[in-house]
Amino acid sequence: MRSPAKLALLLCIFFASRGAPAQTPAAPIKLMVDASESPRQIWHARLVIPVKIGPLTLYYPEWIPGEHMPDGPIVNLAGLKIFAGGKPLAWRRDLVNMFAFHLEVPEGVDTIEVQLDYLLAGVSSKYSSGASATAQLALLSWNQVLLYPQSKPINELTYEASLHLPEGWQFATALPVARRSGSSVEFAPVALNTLVDSPVLAGAYFRVIPLTRDAAPRHEIDLAADSEAALAMGTEEIEHYRQLVAETGALFGSRHYRDYHFLVSLSDDLTHFGLEHHESSDDRVPERTFLDEGLRLYEADLLPHEFVHSWNGKYRRPADLATPDYQQPMKDDLLWVYEGLTQYLGDILTARSGLFTPEQFRESTAYIAATLDYRAGREWRSLQDTADSAPLLYAAPDEWTAWRRSIDFYDEGALLWLEADTTIRQQTRGKRTLNDFCRSFYGGPGGEPALKTYTFDELVGALNDVAHFDWKGFFTERLNSHAPHAPLGGIEQGGWRLTYSDEPNLSQTASEQAHRNLDLSFSLGLVLDEDGTVRDVIPGMAAAKAGLGPGMKIAAVSDRQWSVDLMREAIRGAKPSARPLQLLVANGEYYKTYSLDYRGGIRYPHLERDSSHSDLLSEIIKPLASRGK
């Protein structure tokens, strides 16, 4: 449940202590990480921590910024040993908080040494605690290889880190380098929050692509791949990313970082996702993303999305997500802004920079809108509850997604922000747009990374400064709605309508290729793996009515052995005159034939122009910055 809007206007401004002197003269914590055994899936770390006599609690980071949940990979921490003056010190884990280690510092001891290993193999987690290293590359997130004392907020703890890499590997990071010698790197001392916000990408096959030529701040794409061939990003693609940098400048007006690194890892053996940081992003995509048009299209909005987070999420952050350390729980109720608006801005920047053609943007919007329109679970779970329960939904299985709902605050949040953008344009007769909001809300002096928190009421106030409207009512109604359909008002006000035809949707085709699945949500109400395994059924639709459920596996379609093409053709032929579709289905060790009463043919979503409204959607995705800057 979302708490009622807060009356107090809380404007907290924290400045990351990057570059600023530490508030106490305490010596920095030294962290030495040996990643030379990355290919065999183990990292070793050693910390030297200044201490005082008496009880001491050390923490392993639990709530990881940007992941919005307590998923610090504590299960992969091993080999923990603590020494004082060369002698072992006993530690005991807290019986309630598995991330806390208690010990007693003896008299005469002013530093302790902590040794630990991080185990990479066999991880089943998602996001940054997922698969992070291969034979040829690694992505190191510092929170995985350190402990920190309870003594102070994390922006007041200084860490001096060093890293040893496999022989011959190159690396990139937003973390300032103090010196380098062969495979060893020493970094400048920084606050703990900056360290954890500055992962390192390293690998044997490496390429640095500068995106800004002379002008500061510097922007670059750093690629590490499992093969030399995968590094071949084309010149046209590079120009689109240069345009992306120019478009963010035109949209936001200032930048809150010293320079920016897209840390892109190209591998089929890593967990695939993106994670935002203030001065970089951790972008993990399939190895052939820049070689294969389907994969390129599927991943096209990833870098724009993570880049937008430098403004929306890192610089401006909901107050409830700006916690003083990694143990205090985060409250996710405003993720429809943090993630939803980022999704919207990321999508339109993908189009403005040329990474999407206008048609690809519309196809992507249609597929998103249609998927949400078939979320049967909106009957019991509001959009607000998808944000409130984000820590549960991020970890949810694929089965029963339509009924459980998913992290819908991303895509449905984007639909709300499209509706907000078109509403501003209508209310002001085209004089103001959401671009004006972005300039005022995310602007500021820029330069050093800063954090400026906000509340729901402050967001509403900032929107009212752009266009006077009942924004509180607008969002509250949509966030708490149990209407059976998705909020499509933005598409309609934008001059388009959601329709279906038997022509494949470009975005859906790319998604099916990436996920190796078959999405029949809009016909049978069924999502299948390539091998016929049922992943999801949509309550109320033909497959669910016939009795199919997740985990079953289709063995034959009308008496013939299952294949994706056969299934597609069978549905294409499911017209009014046709006989019911017969599916032979395995459920564990049992087989049964199901008869599906469906005669609507194959259906793919598209946007169709509605000439009774002006074409705001096309207006929104026009570039703001001049080309070739």
Interface positions with Zn ion (CB under 5 A): 339, 342
To the nearest whole angstrom, how small is the minimum distance from the Cβ of residue 324 to Zn ion? 22
To the nearest whole angstrom, how small is the minimum distance from the Cβ of residue 305 to Zn ion? 6
Tell me which residue has tokens 């590997």: 169
| 48 torsion bin: left (phi>0), alpha (psi -120 to 50), beta (else) | beta
To the nearest whole angstrom, how small is the minimum distance from the Cβ of residue 514 to Zn ion? 18
To the nearest whole angstrom, how small is the minimum distance from the Cβ of residue 369 to Zn ion? 19
Determine whether 237 is exposed, middle or buried from the number of CB atoms within 10 Å of its CB (0-12, 13-18, 19+): middle
Q: Residue 342 or 423: which CB sits closer to Zn ion?
A: 342
To the nearest whole angstrom, how small is the minimum distance from the Cβ of residue 336 to Zn ion? 12
| 12 torsion bin: left (phi>0), alpha (psi -120 to 50), beta (else) | beta
Q: Residue 411 or 536: which CB sits closer to Zn ion?
A: 411
How far apart (Å, rounded) are the C-alpha atoms in residues 95 and 92?
A: 9
How far apart (Å, rounded) are the C-alpha atoms in residues 230 and 232?
A: 5
Q: Residue 135 or 396: which CB sits closer to Zn ion?
A: 396
Q: Residue 61 or 340: which CB sits closer to Zn ion?
A: 340
How far apart (Å, rounded) are the C-alpha atoms in residues 383 and 388?
A: 9
Q: How far is CA 210 from the centre of its chain?
A: 24
Residue 597 near residue 541 (C-beta atoms within 8 A): no
Q: Could you tell me which residues come within 8 angstroms of residue 525 by beta carbon, excluding any fewer than 6 positions away?
A: 374, 402, 537, 538, 539, 540, 541, 542, 543, 544
To the nearest whole angstrom, how small is the minimum distance from the Cβ of residue 107 to Zn ion? 49
To the nearest whole angstrom, how small is the minimum distance from the Cβ of residue 248 to Zn ion? 15
How far apart (Å, rounded) are the C-alpha atoms in residues 57 and 279?
A: 31
Structure tokens at 156: 């007041």
Length of the chain: 629
Tell me which residue has tokens 């206007």: 9
To the nearest whole angstrom, how small is the minimum distance from the Cβ of residue 136 to Zn ion? 27
Secondary structure string (H, E, C) spanning 403-433: HHCCCCCCHHHHHHHHHHHHHHHHHCCCCCC
To the nearest whole angstrom, how small is the minimum distance from the Cβ of residue 113 to Zn ion? 37
Q: Residue 303 or 488: which CB sits closer to Zn ion?
A: 303
Q: Residue 327 or 342: which CB sits closer to Zn ion?
A: 342
Q: Residue 141 or 342: which CB sits closer to Zn ion?
A: 342
Q: Is 619 helix (H, G, I), strand (E, B) or coil?
A: helix
**Phi, psi for residue 276 in degrees, rounded to 5:** -80, 145
Q: Residue 335 or 596: which CB sits closer to Zn ion?
A: 335
Residue 383 near residue 336 (C-beta atoms within 8 A): yes
To the nearest whole angstrom, how small is the minimum distance from the Cβ of residue 352 to Zn ion? 18
Q: Residue 241 or 409: which CB sits closer to Zn ion?
A: 409
Structure tokens at 247: 């478009």
- Dihedral sign from CA coordinates of 371, 372, 375, 377: positive
